[in-house]
Structure 1
Amino acid sequence: MSAGLLVAVLLASALLEGSGWAGGVGDGNLRLSVTVNGRADSDVRPPEVRVGTWVVKRYRLLNVSEADLHRVRVLDPGAPAGSVRCPAVLPAAEEAECTARFRAVAGRHVHPVRAEGDVPALRTRLTATARAGYAGVAGALGLTEEVVVATPGTGGGGASAIVTYTVTNRGNLPLYTVRVEDPGLALAPGAPDCGGRGGTVAVLAPDTSAFCRTTVRLRPGTYRSAGRASGSDRATTLGTGGERVTAPVLTAGASAVFVVREAPVAPVPRTPAPGAPAAGSSAGAAGASAGAGAAPAPGAPGALARTDTGTGTGTGTGTDAAGRPAAPAAPGAGAAPGAVPPGAVPPGAVPPSSVSPGAVPPAPPPGLRRAAGVDDEGFLGRVRRRGREAAEFGVATTLLLLLIPAAVAAALLGSRRK
């Protein structure tokens, strides 16, 4: 009987253990709580952690069963994969802690967390869940700059350079009292104009930008601008142990290299010498130079007298030393400078040498005036005169053509009557 009672007790114990609650192994035997940077109610009030700083999550597991848990693990979507560390075994009626340490990222990260442990002898798995997370906060300051150099004016000297600084809040908290300066250009405090405020942006909301500009006068050369921006989001955050951390001063920098060119020198106006032709008289000067190359008319003032070699005859021809005919002598050849050669003055005209300086020469006869006018009438005058002469010649020719046939006809009629 005692042997049978023992077997019955063993069978009942095995059945109760397989049911999941006998022996204290079943649902609810594993419990989980999570703290984030020292805060236990992170599911309701997620702690604010500055972006880029450390987040420390502590997962407290309590095994209230009467069986050891193996392959203990924590599944947390709010932690990077592989960052959670747990003990391999959680003994029965004991507790253990899993931890995760990683850098905070911007935004709210509150997720359900799941803890698991296996009981190999019973082929069962115990689980527990909780919610936990944090809020990554920060105002992230960014700075860029652009330089535009004006075209240098004439007269030497440098030029103006317009430098534009663009400050941007890339974070998720407002930035306050953002100050812009440029030690590279040695700007005075408050020199950049930031929307009416000297070198300062009062409030810069998340995902917005502001512009600050300054104009500097620089001598020719190469320059390097070194913009600097600073500000604060005034947010107090929690450290890894739950301590309060004050907001740091946020900074950003940018630089640009630019060149200021040498200004062109203004041209000096040139004053023409007395008696020199004006700049616009190039055509007249060219014509004068062309005319200067032509030989003056025989007998004209300044004309060079021509001297022929050989002896001349009364006909104007001669022979040189070799017996060849010499070129005919030009009119007035061999005459003294300024002398009027024979035959150069028309009949009735007064030679220039016979008129004393300052005296008014007598008027030439009409025929000579007409000849002088013909010589000085030019090309167009000659064309008009030739046209008039052709018209007069045409009338005379017409009369002759009419009278000659009439005379011939009359002669023929007279000869027939005889």
Structure 2
Amino acid sequence: MSEYVGRSSDYSCRRVIGGLLVVALLVLPCAVLSEGSGWAGGVGDGNLRLTVTVNGRADSDRRPPEVRVGTWVVKRYRLLNLSEADLHRVRVLDPGAPAGSVRCPAGPLPAAEEVECTARFRAVAGNHVRPVRAEGDVPSLRTRLTATARAGYVGVAGVLRLTEEVVIATPGAGSGSSAASGAGSGTDADADAGAGAGGVGGVATVTYTVTNRGNLPLYAVRVEDPGLALAPGAPDCGGQGGTVAVLAPDTSALCRAALRLRPGTYRSTGRASGTDRATTFGAGGERVSAPVLTAGTSAVFVVREPPAPRTPAPRTPAPGAVGAGAGNGGTPGAPGAAGALAGAGTGTGTGAGTAPGAAGRSVPPAAPAVPGAGAVPGAVPPGAAPPDGVPPGAVPPSAVSPGTAVPPPVPPPGLRRADGLDDEGFLGRVRRRAREAREFGVATTLLLLLIPAAVAAALLGSRRK
């Protein structure tokens, strides 16, 4: 009985050992991986975890840190492999970072371990909170594990711009000149009046234009000009003495200053300063206070001497005209000496005239007329015959006061024609003879046509009778 039992025990052990060998042969091929080493168990969704910090902030999905434009943004991506297989070709896809800026360690990510990828780049303006995606492959199972997280930052752009324009107003000038550069207190009318009263060269009106090109409001923006040495509180920015209290994004404000300057060359150097009061985060998570934003511009302009008052040039009377009286009772444009004497009528007036050959000689003003005296003694009344020996149109010597220029007597028409014929020359005489011959030929032709017609009419009339 005991032998039988012993043989049974040995047989059972052999069966158990044989069964274990069969199981091992069946399981061993499944444990061999084609690439890398690791176990395939526990691979699925949720086995890859991703967390992102931006400039030290881990909650950038809800409260993105504000980063000053141009400063560094540092993103850290922490990947945790919770599966039982190694991850190959681990990578991070972040649309909120410049292409190629994300760096991950080379090699696979072992099971139950973690790795950190980083990205470092300059901040740009605007909101850059985006979904981030991490990926890793399990080649033996032809599986890709993924994880997502939302992260980013807000770029703070504080940009201040200043331009200026200068307009010069000269007293007595019709318009002013201007000089612009990439922009005063008082009005132009007040400035012109002050310049005229002070006797300076002109008034320069400088207009400053300050603009907020950033994405946050600017506060206490102050405008000044060291080059022109403006007075305290100038220029005028809408009644706020050289300061703009609040300047919203993408808006501008005007400041003006009017300066009374002497003739010369001047250089304006405008300066503007302000702050957006935004505290930002540095690359390591430190807090950075808001800087003072500045902008500048310059312009060179010239203030010239005011133009001298223009004096009207004296008018020269036409030849043959003695002058014209100006005043009450004067006779403007009176010919000859009569024009000079006609200026002395009732009231005040002056007369001046010249005669051919006497140009440049001034005629003394006529004496005031005596009430009741209607004509100059010795003058020939209109329509009366001149005295003997005085040609028609000439002024009798008794009618001319001492010092008055008298034109020469005008010869009769026949005498003038004879003088002209004597001076015409040979060619002129030929032309005149030809013209007279043409005139005679026309008259002869008319006579030759009219005489026969008259004779024929007379004959016809006699026959009818």
Q: TM-score, normalised by structure 2?
A: 0.58
Provide, for residues 83-134 of structure 1, a one-character-per-residue CA deviation record: whole Å limited to 9, x for no partner: 1111122233221111111222222211110011223343332211100111
Task: Say if 2:196 is the partner of 1:161.
Answer: no
Q: Distance in 2 between matches of 1:180 and 1:221?
A: 24
Q: How big is the alpha-carbon RMSD for the aligned residues of Structure 1 and Structure 2? A: 3.3
Q: Give the AA of the match of 1:104.
A: A
Equivalences for residues 6-405 of structure 1 within 5 A: 6-11=24-29, 13=31, 22-89=40-107, 90-153=109-172, 157-266=200-309, 279-280=314-315, 282-283=317-318, 284=321, 288-291=354-357, 372=387, 375-378=390-393
The unaligned stretches of length 5 or more in structure 1 are: 271-278, 294-359, 362-368, 384-418
Moved more, 220-229 or 209-218: 220-229
Q: Give the AA of the match of 2:125.
A: A
Provide, for residues 64-92 of structure 1, a one-character-per-residue CA deviation record: whole Å limited to 9, x for no partner: 22333222211111111111111122233
Aligned length: 298
| Structure 1 residues 291 and 251: alpha-carbon distance in aligned structure 2, compared to 1, 3 A threshold | closer
- Contact kept in structure 2, 1:171 and 1:207, CA below 8 Å: yes
- Contact kept in structure 2, 1:237 and 1:244, CA below 8 Å: yes
- Contact kept in structure 2, 1:138 and 1:233, CA below 8 Å: no
Q: Distance in 2 between matches of 1:280 and 1:138?
A: 71
Q: Could you tell me how far 1:190 is from its partner in structure 2?
A: 1.9
Provide, for residues 193-247 of structure 1, a one-character-per-residue CA deviation record: whole Å limited to 9, x for no partner: 0001110001111111100000112222222211110011111122222221111
- Contact kept in structure 1, 2:40 and 2:85, CA below 8 Å: no
Per the alignment, in what secondary structure is the counterpart of residue 8 of structure 1? helix
Provide, for residues 156-183 of structure 1, a one-character-per-residue CA deviation record: whole Å limited to 9, x for no partner: 8421111111111111211111100011
| Structure 1 residues 289 and 31: alpha-carbon distance in aligned structure 2, compared to 1, 3 A threshold | same
Q: Give the AA of the match of 1:69.
A: L
Aligned partner of 2:343 in structure 1 is none
Q: Distance in 2 between matches of 1:23 and 1:145?
A: 73
Q: Distance in 2 between matches of 1:261 and 1:250?
A: 36
Provide, for residues 262-302 of structure 1, a one-character-per-residue CA deviation record: whole Å limited to 9, x for no partner: 323345799xxxxxxxx446334698442559xxxxxxxxx
| Structure 1 residues 215 and 66: alpha-carbon distance in aligned structure 2, compared to 1, 3 A threshold | same
| Structure 1 residues 91 and 285: alpha-carbon distance in aligned structure 2, compared to 1, 3 A threshold | farther
Provide, for residues 326-375 of structure 1, a one-character-per-residue CA deviation record: whole Å limited to 9, x for no partner: xxxxxxxxxxxxxxxxxxxxxxxxxxxxxxxxxx99xxxxxxx9673795
Q: TM-score, normalised by structure 1?
A: 0.64
Q: Give the AA of the match of 1:7.
A: L
| From 6, 16, 23, the counterpart of 1:5 | 23
Moved more, 150-159 or 56-65: 150-159
Q: Distance in 1 between matches of 2:316 and 2:282?
A: 90
Q: Could you tell me how far 1:52 is from its partner in structure 2?
A: 2.1
Q: Could you tell me how far 1:38 is from its partner in structure 2?
A: 0.9
- Contact kept in structure 1, 2:386 and 2:392, CA below 8 Å: no
Moved more, 60-69 or 205-214: 60-69
| Structure 1 residues 187 and 120: alpha-carbon distance in aligned structure 2, compared to 1, 3 A threshold | same
Q: Distance in 2 between matches of 1:291 and 1:269?
A: 25
Q: Distance in 2 between matches of 1:292 and 1:257?
A: 57
Per the alignment, in what secondary structure is the counterpart of residue 77 of structure 1? coil
- Contact kept in structure 2, 1:181 and 1:189, CA below 8 Å: no
Per the alignment, in what secondary structure is the counterpart of residue 9 of structure 1? helix
Q: Could you tell me how far 1:137 is from its partner in structure 2?
A: 2.1
- Contact kept in structure 1, 2:202 and 2:261, CA below 8 Å: yes
| Structure 1 residues 370 and 233: alpha-carbon distance in aligned structure 2, compared to 1, 3 A threshold | closer
| Structure 1 residues 122 and 371: alpha-carbon distance in aligned structure 2, compared to 1, 3 A threshold | closer
Q: Could you tell me how far 1:59 is from its partner in structure 2?
A: 0.6
- Contact kept in structure 2, 1:70 and 1:88, CA below 8 Å: no
Provide, for residues 10-68 of structure 1, a one-character-per-residue CA deviation record: whole Å limited to 9, x for no partner: 255469x9xx9943333322110001111111111111222222211111111122333
Per the alignment, in what secondary structure is the counterpart of residue 23 of structure 2? helix
Q: Distance in 1 between matches of 2:262 and 2:155?
A: 48
- Contact kept in structure 1, 2:39 and 2:84, CA below 8 Å: no
Q: Whose Rg is larger?
A: 1
Larger % of strand: which?
Answer: 1
Q: Distance in 1 between matches of 2:138 and 2:30?
A: 20
| Structure 1 residues 177 and 29: alpha-carbon distance in aligned structure 2, compared to 1, 3 A threshold | same
Percent of pairs identical after alignment?
76
Aligned partner of 1:301 in structure 2 is none
| Structure 1 residues 230 and 23: alpha-carbon distance in aligned structure 2, compared to 1, 3 A threshold | same
Per the alignment, in what secondary structure is the counterpart of residue 58 of structure 1? strand
Q: Could you tell me how far 1:376 is from its partner in structure 2?
A: 4.4
